[in-house]
Amino acid sequence: KNEVEQSPQNLTAQEGEFITINCSYSVGISALHWLQQHPGGGIVSLFMLSSGKKKHGRLIATINIQEKHSSLHITASHPRDSAVYICAVRSNYGGSQGNLIFGKGTKLSVKP
């Protein structure tokens, strides 16, 4: 079982729809990252969370530490949001200090 699970794997939405991507993890963490990867491969960090909720423009990220779960929401989705969204956790146990553990990503396609 992967330490970081994302759902769904693939998501197709119509422009304007509200989108939710989920991430569950099984290890102790000090922070959770939401990343965006465009087809060229480069990765942009969207959010880093250790508790609560963060908002940036149309993007909202929440985390529930007790339930080991995070969600990324996109309001009023747009075709330019089409990308792979990756959840990554920074674990806090000794053997993995310093590295991120990644989910397999959610491929989002927003149709006009």
Partner 1 sequence: EAGVTQSPTHLIKTRGQQATLRCSPISGHTSVYWYQQALGLGLQFLLWYDEGEERNRGNFPPRFSGRQFPNYSSELNVNALELEDSALYLCASSPTHREFTNTEAFFGQGTRLTVV
Give the shortest CB-48-to-partner 1 separation in angstroms.
Answer: 5
- Provide the Cα torsion 22, 23, 26, 30; round to 10°: -130
**Between 49 and 77, CB nearer to partner 1:** 49
As given in the structure block, the two tokens for residue 34 are: 């939401």
Who's near 17: CB < 8 A, 6+ residues apart? 77, 110
What is the residue type of 14? Answer: Q
Q: Which residues is 32 bridged to in the sheet? A: 49, 89
As given in the structure block, the two tokens for residue 70 are: 């995070």
Per CB under 8 A, the segment of 19-27, 30-38, 55-63, 68-76 that binds partner 1 is 30-38
Give the shortest CB-112-to-partner 1 separation in angstroms.
Answer: 27
Say whether residue 24 binds partner 1 (CB under 8 A).
Answer: no
Which positions from 63 to 92 touch partner 1 by CB under 8 A, shown as an x/- string?
Answer: -----------------------x-x-x-x
Who's near 30: CB < 8 A, 6+ residues apart? 50, 90, 91, 92
Q: Contact with partner 1 (CB under 8 A): which of 44, 51, 64, 109?
A: 44
Task: Note the residues at the interface with partner 1 (CB under 8 A).
Answer: 30-31, 33, 35, 40-45, 48, 50, 86, 88, 90, 92, 96-105
